[in-house]
């Protein structure tokens, strides 16, 4: 199964790599013990650094939830075990809204 947001993320990351950015910044995808996902991208020195973002919180059920925020130059998202795609989709939509991607 191909997830377009994941492929898009790979391309976005590749476009940031300039022999400098990737040495200081990057992307982290981790698991949580509740279970779930934690996703973080340092957007420092990218076209997204000053783009406004409003907190998103979606609670569909105990196992189906996610949130996304930007804090300290990092886009961050957490969610249930099946919600990683929701977080990636949110990052993609926000980044595309900048009109520069």
Q: Which helix (H) or strand (E) holds 86?
A: helix 84-97
State the CB neighbour count (10 A cutoff) for residue 53: 16
Q: At 59, is the pLDDT very low, low, confident or very high (cuts 50, 70, 90)?
A: very high
- Number of folded domains in the chain? 1
Q: In terms of residues, how long is the chain?
A: 101
What pTM value is reported for the model? 0.90
Question: Has residue 1 got a pLDDT over 70?
Answer: no
- Domain housing 19: 4-97
Residue 9 φ/ψ, nearest 5 degrees = -60, -40
Report the pLDDT value the prediction gives residue 38, as an integer from 0 to 100: 98
> Helix %, strand %, coil % for the chain, to 5?
30, 30, 40
Tell me which H or E stretch contains 58: strand 56-59
Average pLDDT, the chain: 92
Q: Quick check: helix, strand or coil at residue 56?
A: strand
Per-residue confidence (pLDDT) for residue 100, from 0 to 100 = 54
**3 pLDDT band (50/70/90 cuts)?**
low
């Amino acid at each position: 199964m191909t997830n377009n947001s994941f492929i898009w993320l790979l391309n976005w990351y590749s476009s940031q790599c300039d022999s400098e950015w990737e040495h200081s910044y990057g992307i982290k995808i981790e698991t949580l013990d509740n279970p779930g996902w934690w996703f973080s991208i340092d957007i420092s020195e990218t076209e997204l650094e000053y783009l406004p973002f409003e907190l998103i919180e979606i609670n569909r059920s105990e196992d189906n939830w996610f949130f996304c925020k930007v804090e300290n130059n990092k886009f961050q998202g957490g969610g249930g075990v099946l919600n990683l795609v929701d977080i990636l989709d949110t990052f993609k939509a926000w980044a595309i809204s900048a009109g520069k991607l």
